Structure 1
């Protein structure tokens, strides 16, 4: 319920001219609100006529109203913006969760191959403060880390051995897979996706011709 309410409120606080969230919001005499820069540009164009209108309800004003920032509206927009960012940063289905967050799990942005843990933005900054000098190997957030990292060498399993049909890190591949047919994980994934697409296309062609 709270998530839906934040979304609706944000839509209500969009500027009718630029359609983005209000920036330096002002309210004109009719009660409608706009970005300061948007309504100023609009009324600069109305200078020749000497009549200034609300772009939403078309009510006319003469002389040109003095524009003043609405501090209460600005504070409300800022709170809504922060609430929306907080909601968006929470981990959802399929997202990699931060291993440090306790009450609400946020989306992880980085994974440390030394700590074998994933971190949200806040906890990743803390991780860097506790481990200065970039000594830890860090990658983009990755799930099921124990399946993707070689525990002997703390390195990603980036080599696919076609002979043994298994994933290894480069060091393990050099030692265990001499003379074997190997490929990078990225290339193997691409080949399998291509093969799957070819099979689907052939299946559709057969179905249409039947």
Structure 2
């Protein structure tokens, strides 16, 4: 059954997910209606619109209509459960963090956002580099249990370490219940512990 349909043929080359409200543009390539509209909206002032895949240009802007045949085929694909409860994982190995925004074919996450509390593959991460508002978000290496990195009291990143209470805290904690305590950046404390651990292992091996 799986060989009957190639799921990649029903994926939008802009969002890389299964086509939603699929439309075919004059050159023959298909996209999600929202994706191609967003792509063309950036060139409204130029009056020339191109295909993201082949580069063919159109003027005026083509009128888009939902491709009902293609939409039905995507629905059948979902009903066959090729992508239903058992998701397809691309370029992922056990233990990898997967992208929270890949709905069909899961890609490996490369970064996690401490503001969105979500992990992103290289493609879905682009918005964080391009959008002025998202550029201010704090990105870290992809992390499985993001909630563990967030302060339960202030919903802020645990970027400090309180040596007095021996726990990770956020900047608001430093100003609040941990005021006056011996605090350092969490990265500094982590590096210190790694050095001490290596030194201890070296001494035990030398004994």
Q: What's the TM-score, normalizing by structure 1?
A: 0.48
Of structures 1 and 2, the larger Rg is shown by 1
TM-score (norm: length of structure 2): 0.49
- The structure whose residues are more often helix, as a share, is 1
